[in-house]
Structure 1
Amino acid sequence: MNLATHIQTLGRGPGRSRSLSREEARDAMEIILSKTAAPEAVGALLMLMRYRGETAPEIAGFTDALRVDVQNWTGLPVALDWPSYAAGRTRGAPLFLLAAKLVASAGYPVLLHGWNSHQLAVASVRAGLADLGIAQAHTPAKAKALLQRDAIVYVPAEALHAPALDLLRLRDDLGLRSCLNTVLRMLNPADAPAMVQGVFHPSYRDLQSDAAEILGQTSLSVIKGGGGEFERHPGKSLTLMGLRKGARFETIVPELVNASRRLHEPTLPPVCLSALWHGAQEDPFATACVIGTATLALMTCDLEVDAAREAAQDLWACRSVRSAA
Structure 2
Amino acid sequence: MTLAPYVRILARGQGRARGYTQEEAREAMTLMLREDADPEAIGAILMLLRMKGETAAEIAGFAEAAQASLAPWPGTRPALDWPSYAAGRSRGLPWFLLAARLVASAGYPVLLHGWNSHQGPSASVRAALPALGIPQAGSTATAGALLERGGVAYLPLESFSPRLFHLLGLRDKLGLRSCVNTVLRMLNPGQARAAVQGVFHPPYRTLQADAAELLGLRDLTVLKGGGGEFEHHAAKDIEIFGLRSGKTWTGKTGQQAEGHQRLAEAAPDDPQALAMLWEGTLHDPFAEAIVLSTADLALETLGAPERARDLWEARGALSAA
Q: TM-score normalized by structure 2?
A: 0.96
Whole-angstrom distance in 1 between the partners of 2:265 and 2:29: 40
Match for residue 278 of structure 1?
Answer: 279
Q: Find the aligned partners of 2:254 and 2:78 in 1 and give their Cα distance.
A: 29
Equivalence for 1:290: 291
State the secondary structure of the residue aligned to 1:113: strand
Q: Does the 8 A contact of 2:209 with 2:242 survive in 1?
A: yes
Larger mean Cα displacement after TM superposition, 171-180 or 311-320: 311-320
1:42 has 2:38 as partner: no
Is this contact kept in 2: 1:102–1:312, CA < 8 A?
Answer: yes
Residue aligned with 2:264, SS: coil
1:66-85 equivalences under 5 Å are 66-73=66-73, 76-85=76-85
Paired residue for 1:208?
A: 208
Residue in 2 that maps onto 1:26: 26
Pairwise CA distance, 1:281: 0.7
* 1:113 paired residue number: 113
* Equivalent of residue 313 in structure 2, options 308, 314, 317: 317
Q: Is 2:140–2:160's contact at 8 Å kept on the other side of the alignment? A: no
Counterpart CA distance in 2 for 1:8 and 1:42 is 12
Quick one: structure 1 residues 238 and 74, their matched pair in 2 at CA, closer, same or farther if it must change by over 3 Å? Answer: farther
TM superposition shift of 1:141? 3.3
Greater CA deviation, 245-254 or 32-41? 32-41
Preserved contact between residue 74 and residue 189 of structure 1 (Cα < 8 Å): no
Show the counterpart of 2:169. 169
Paired amino acid for 1:51: M
Q: Distance in 2 between matches of 1:51 and 1:239?
A: 27
Shift of 1:172: 0.6
Given that residues 46 and 178 in structure 2 are in contact (C-alpha distance below 8 angstroms), is that contact kept between their aligned partners in structure 1? Answer: yes
Which secondary structure state, in structure 2, belongs to the residue aligned with residue 288 of structure 1?
helix
- Which letter maps to 1:315? L
* SS of residue paired to 1:155: strand
Cα contact 2:75–2:145 (8 A) shared by 1: no
User: Conserved in 2, the CA contact under 8 Å of 1:74 and 1:191?
Assistant: no
Structure 1 residue 20: Cα displacement: 0.6
Shift of 1:225: 0.5
Deviation at 1:35, TM superposition (A): 3.1
Change over 3 Å in CA distance of 1:141–1:163 after alignment to 2: closer
Whether the aligned pair in 2 keeps the contact of 1:75 and 1:190 (CA below 8 Å) is no
CA contact (8 A) 1:84 1:229 kept: yes
Q: What's the CA shift for 1:74?
A: 6.3
* One-letter identity of the residue aligned with 1:201: H
- What's the CA shift for 1:8? 1.2
Map 1:4-19; keep pairs closer than 5 Å: 4-19=4-19
Q: Which amino acid is the alignment partner of residue 100 of structure 2?
A: A
Q: Which residue of 1 aligns with 2:220?
A: 220
Residue 91 (structure 1) shift: 1.4
Task: Assess if the C-alpha contact under 8 Å between 1:234 and 1:289 holds in 2.
Answer: yes
CA distance in 1, matches of 2:252, 2:2: 45
Q: Secondary structure at the match of 1:264?
A: helix
Amino acid at match of 1:168: L
User: How far apart are 1:143 and its partner, in Å?
Assistant: 1.5
User: 1:258, CA displacement in angstroms?
Assistant: 1.1
Distance 2:92 2:158 in 1: 24
Give the superposition deviation at 1:71: 4.2
Deviation for aligned residue 1:34? 1.8
Instruction: Please state how far the C-alpha of 1:25 moved relative to its aligned partner.
Output: 0.8
Over 4 Å off, 4+ runs: none
Deviation, 1:254, is 2.2
**Which letter does structure 2 place at the counterpart of 1:296?**
L
Does 2:59 correspond to 1:59?
yes
Q: Distance in 2 between matches of 1:49 and 1:286?
A: 38
Alpha-carbon shift at residue 2 of structure 1 (Å)? 2.6
Per-residue CA deviation, residues 175-233 of structure 1 (Å, 9 max, x unaligned), is 11111111011011111010000000010000000000000001001000100000000
Residue 143 of structure 1 aligns to a residue whose secondary structure is helix
TM-score (norm 1): 0.94
Aligned residues: 319
SS of 1:221 mapped into structure 2: strand
CA RMSD in angstroms, aligned pairs only: 1.5
How far is 1:120 from its partner?
1.1
**How far is the alpha carbon of 1:265 from its aligned partner?**
2.3
8 Å Cα contact 1:75/1:191 also seen in 2: no
Are the counterparts in 1 of residues 8 and 17 from structure 2 also a CA contact under 8 Å?
yes
**Counterpart residue identity of residue 211, structure 1:** A
Matches within 5 A, 1:120-269: 120-265=120-265, 269=268
